[in-house]
Amino acid sequence: MKKEERMSKFKNWPLKKKIVYIFDFPFLCIRKLVIPPCEVEEYDNWLVIVWPYLGILTAEMVVKKAWPTSAGFFYYLPCALLWSFLFWKFHKGGRREITKEHLLVSVIGMIFGYLWTYYVSGLLIDILTMMGIITKLSATYLALTIIAVGNALPDALLTIELAKKEKALLGITGSYAGQLFGLLVGFGVSMFKKSLSEGKPIPFDLFVEWNENIEMIIIIAVMLITLIFTMVYEITHELKFNRTVAIVLGVLYFGFILSVTIIEVIRDYF
């Protein structure tokens, strides 16, 4: 896309989209310099050639959580130079044309994308820990609000887009299946790993020390009410959802957020 076409497209965007793009632009530039372009519409052979000089270096910093040493340049620079030479010399297509070696670029991009996801996730946890120290809010409350919204927001936006395209069934199924996977596989595997490492049963004191775990009890109750409501509503309305479902689910979530916030404020500040 030529510069004039990009500027014309930008001028036709609504104000909200322009603001988001301006805020997102520097992060997009960084991403293009440290992760090779995997998407077909974003492929640029020059980016493939130059990415390893910052990409490998920053990946080493992410994995080791330390500044690179001088010894690392002895294997870092030869790898970067070899990669650049091969894609400069043997890329047979145009600058933005996909060729058969794009499979290798996609695999490397996926690996480096996972590394950056791991780093950003750790950074988010550190920020939330700092927020907890400053505001005196518990880790449980931060997990139930900020982390929960951050984890679920991409899925929620995807569900909304699917609903706009008359494919809401895919979004609803994915929402329930994703939570089921996280609960059974994520929670189950982590508890199984912990039990093997400690060599003894893991105590489950959720309802024993209910005063300390009241937020978790509330979220379990809200989830149970939500599942029962959706199941009964589907059966009584011939598997059809309408605005009533959206209102009830919204009220349930607002009530949950309000109740755990009140409990947390009373516990920490009064």
Entry field: residues in the chain: 270
Q: Does residue 2 register a pLDDT over 60?
A: no
Q: Is residue 95 one of the residues assigned to a domain?
A: yes
List, for residues 219-245, the tens digit of each pLDDT value. 889 988 988 998 898 888 887 778 888
Q: Average pLDDT, stretch 203-216?
A: 77
Q: How confident is the model at residue 75 (pLDDT cuts 50, 70, 90)?
A: confident
Q: Does residue 251 register a pLDDT over 60?
A: yes
- Give me the pLDDT at residue 72, please: 72
- Give me the pLDDT at residue 225, please: 92
pTM: 0.60
**68 Cβ partners below 8 Å, 6+ apart?**
57, 60, 61, 76
Instruction: State the chain's mean pLDDT as an integer.
Output: 80
Q: Is residue 190 one of the residues assigned to a domain?
A: no
Q: Is residue 254 one of the residues assigned to a domain?
A: no
Please state the domain count of the chain. Answer: 1
Q: Is residue 64 one of the residues assigned to a domain?
A: yes
Yes or no: say if 83 and 45 are a contact pair by the CB < 8 Å rule.
Answer: no
d(CA 41, CA 151): 27
Find the domain containing 112 and state its range: 35-135
- Give me the pLDDT at residue 252, please: 92
d(CA 140, CA 212): 10
Q: Is residue 162 one of the residues assigned to a domain?
A: no
Q: How confident is the model at residue 6 (pLDDT cuts 50, 70, 90)?
A: low
Q: Is residue 232 one of the residues assigned to a domain?
A: no
d(CA 266, CA 270): 5
d(CA 65, CA 55): 15
Q: How confident is the model at residue 4 (pLDDT cuts 50, 70, 90)?
A: low
Winning range, highest mean pLDDT, from 183-187, 209-213, 249-253: 249-253
Percentage with pLDDT > 70 across the chain? 96
CA dihedral 197, 200, 201, 207 (to 10 degrees): -90
d(CA 4, CA 24): 21
Q: Is residue 213 one of the residues assigned to a domain?
A: no
Q: Phi then psi for 83, rounded to 5 degrees?
A: -60, -45
Q: Is residue 219 one of the residues assigned to a domain?
A: no
Q: Does residue 11 register a pLDDT over 60?
A: yes
d(CA 197, CA 11): 58
